[in-house]
Amino acid sequence: MTIPLLETHDLVKDYEIGGEVVHACNHVSLSIARGEFVAIMGASGSGKSTFMNMIGCLDVPSSGTLLLDGVDTKTLDSDALAEIRNRKIGFVFQQFNLLARTSALDNVAVPLIYAGLGYAERRERAKAKLEEMGLGNRLENTPAKLSGGQQQRVAIARALVTGPLMLLADEPTGALDTQTSLDIMGIFQKLNDDGITLVVVTHEPDIAEYAARRVVFRDGKVIEDAAVKSRRRATAHA
């Protein structure tokens, strides 16, 4: 048996609001293997983002265990967690989260700063990733001069530039129109074909059908976890 890329045991996150405890994540035990493409669904407030933030090492669980590549994250200090975020995990956000007034190239190069790479190599790698995303002619554009779809592709290039094992995307198509959303899912499918593990939160059942496995949350608990039956294939990426 190989070690799963990601494993949670009784993962809990409680928030206290006005003396009342909200179980945003309530004893979630889940295992995701290398190369999986998981869609996470559920009503608003069901705890999807809370779960994603914990497995992305952005947030600390109230209790329970999170194993990344077999390593218990409880044993890691903030520097080690930063290194995991830098090397092993790529994040894609609903609102793209690009640095304003900063070129696409420099945006994509940011994670490489923290990986300790020199200037020339940062530019080289960032350029290559942007070209892979079909943005070779947009290197010097600032986010304000890019469409939503283009911005999200810059963000994906940034998530991929350090060569992570896993991409975490919280509603990556939430701010995009239908066609652009399908383009993005096409990109994800291609990345998955190339071996990258993907976890994508989405509200839209259509979008979820591009994944291979579907996990549904309700009130902080997993209520459904099954393979997607009629999986969709996106034809190509733009």
Partner 1 sequence: MPNILGSLAGWGVNVAIAMTALRTNLMRSILTTLGVMIGVFSVILAVAVGNGAQVSVTQQIATLGSNMAIVVPQPDSGSGPPRPTDRGRLTERDGRAILRQVSGVSAVAPQIRSSVQLVAPGRSATTQATGATPEYGVVSNVTASEGRFLTEGDVSAAARVVVIGQTVSDKLFADANPVGETVRINRVPFTVIGLLESKGSNLGNDNDDQIVVPITTLRQRLLTTATQGPDDVTLLFVGFDDEEALLAGQVEIKRLLRDRYRVPKGRINPFTVRTTTEIAETTGQVTQIFQAVLVAIASISLLVGGIGIMNIMLVSVTERTREIGLRMALGAKRSDIRNQFLVEAAVLCVIGGAIGLILAMVAAAIFQQLADFPAPIGIDTALMAVAFSAVIGLVFGGYPAIRASRLSPIEALRSE
Ligand X SMILES: Nc1ncnc2c1ncn2[C@@H]1O[C@H](COP(=O)(O)OP(=O)(O)OP(=O)(O)O)[C@@H](O)[C@H]1O
Q: Which positions lie near partner 1, rule CB under 8 A?
A: 53, 56, 58-60, 78-79, 82-83, 85-87, 91, 97, 99, 101-102, 110-111, 113-116, 118-119, 158, 162
101 binds, among Mg ion, ligand X, partner 1, none (CB under 5 to 8 A by kind): partner 1
Query: Which listed residue (5, 11, 24, 208) binds ligand X by CB under 6 A?
Result: 24
**Is residue 172 part of the contact set for ligand X (CB under 6 A)?**
no
- Site for Mg ion contains 173 (CB under 5 A): no
Smallest distance from the beta carbon of 220 to partner 1, in angstroms? 17
Q: Which stretch binds Mg ion (CB under 5 A): 3-11, 16-24, 45-53, 219-227?
A: 45-53
**CB atoms inside a 10 Å sphere around CB 223:** 11
Q: Which does 42 bind (CB under 5 to 8 A by kind): Mg ion, partner 1, ligand X, none?
A: ligand X
**Binds 115: which of Mg ion, partner 1, ligand X, none (CB < 5-8 Å by kind):** partner 1
Total residues interacting with ligand X, rule: CB under 6 A: 12
Q: Which of 26, 46, 49, 152 binds Mg ion (CB under 5 A)?
A: 49
How far is the CA of 215 from the CAs of 81, 131, 151, 202, 224, in angstroms? 25, 33, 27, 11, 6
Residue (104 or 167) nearer to ligand X, CB: 167
Query: In angstroms, what CA-CA distances link 137 with 22, 97, 112, 149?
Result: 47, 21, 21, 15
Task: Please report whether residue 50 would count as binding Mg ion according to CB under 5 A.
Answer: no
Distance CA 144, CA 138 (A): 12
The item of ligand X, Mg ion, partner 1, none sharing an interface with residue 21, based on CB under 5 to 8 Å by kind, is none
Helices (H), the chain: 48-55, 78-87, 104-114, 119-132, 148-160, 178-193, 205-208
98 contact partners, CB below 8 Å, separation of at least 6: 104, 107, 143, 151, 154, 155, 158
Q: How far apart are CA 49 and CA 61, in angstroms?
A: 13
- Helix (H), strand (E) at residue 225: strand 221-227
21 near ligand X (CB under 6 A): no
- For 90, the 3-state DSSP assignment is strand
> Which partner, partner 1, Mg ion, ligand X, none, binds residue 79 by CB below 5 to 8 Å per kind?
partner 1
107 or 202: CB nearest Mg ion: 202
Q: Is 26 among the residues that bind ligand X (CB under 6 A)?
A: no
Q: CA-CA distances (angstroms) from residue 8 to 42, 95, 127, 154, 187?
A: 19, 27, 36, 30, 27
Query: Closest Cα to residue 61, out of 12, 110, 115?
Result: 12
Footprint of ligand X on this chain (CB under 6 A)? 15, 17, 22, 24, 42, 44-50
Footprint of Mg ion on this chain (CB under 5 A)? 49
